[in-house]
Amino acid sequence: MSLSAPTQVVFWIAVVLAIVALIGWFGVLGIAIAGYSFWILLLGFVVLTVGCLLRGT
């Protein structure tokens, strides 16, 4: 298994998900998203990890 850099699209999707999770954690987007902020952040890291692992295949 070799790692490679993710594409820019995958990277920016992960960054946007991380920012939404952090904004949700601080309650700026409302209480509804605050409960899901951990899962949104985890999804961003999963997207980034999959982008690093599957690029070379």
Predicted local confidence at residue 14, as pLDDT: 94
2 within some domain: no
**Total residue count of the chain as it appears in this document:** 57
Q: Is residue 42 part of a domain?
A: yes
Residue 32 lies in a domain: yes
Instruction: Assess if residue 33 is contained within a domain.
Output: yes
| pTM score | 0.81
DSSP label at residue 46: H
Supply 40's token pair: 């949104």
**Domains held by the chain: number:** 1
- pLDDT tens digits along 1-57: 778 888 899 999 999 999 999 988 887 766 777 788 999 999 999 999 999 998 655
Domain of 39, in residue numbers: 8-54
